[in-house]
Amino acid sequence: MDLRRKRAYDPAAPDDGFRVLVDRLWPRGISKERAEIDLWAKDTAPSPQLRTEWHHAPPAQWQAYADRYRDELAHESAPALAALADTLRPHPVVTLVYAAHDPVHSHAVVLEQALRTALDG
């Protein structure tokens, strides 16, 4: 499977394949038609508490945030992560869609890694 990431504010493209919104909140200013989302996997997004804490944290705390999110994915969100992996398996191309401005320090990076592990197992 070709697993990709893309910002919600970038235009959808035919080669995006199956598009999955991985944010808990719908991106501001984006209509459902423009987003062209096939699945909204909000249960795999960071918890509201973790999301709020990250929005107030400096980038230097990225690793601590990523570790806490990995812990959520391994425990509280494990059933949702497994269900998402099962849903994605039949699709040759999947694009994880997220609203964060920073493509490096985004929960979508951590989720992509967790999904790759879940899909391999």
3-class SS at 47?
A: coil
pLDDT at 56 over 80: no
pLDDT at 63 over 80: yes
> pLDDT value at position 25?
95
Q: Average pLDDT for residues 87-115, to the nearest whole number?
A: 96
3-class SS at 107?
A: helix
CA distances from 113 to 12, 25, 54, 118 (A): 22, 21, 19, 9
pLDDT at 121 over 80: no
> pLDDT value at position 60?
82
Averaged confidence pLDDT in the chain: 95
Task: Give the number of residues written for the chain.
Answer: 121
Q: What is the pTM of this model?
A: 0.94
Question: With pLDDT > 70 as the criterion, what percentage of the chain qualifies?
Answer: 99
| Beta strands, E only, 27-114 | 39-40, 93-98
Question: Residue with structure tokens 């035919």?
Answer: 14
Lookup: tokens for 20: 């999955």
pLDDT at 30 over 80: yes
Distance CA 77, CA 79 (A): 6
pLDDT at 55 over 80: no
> pLDDT value at position 118?
96
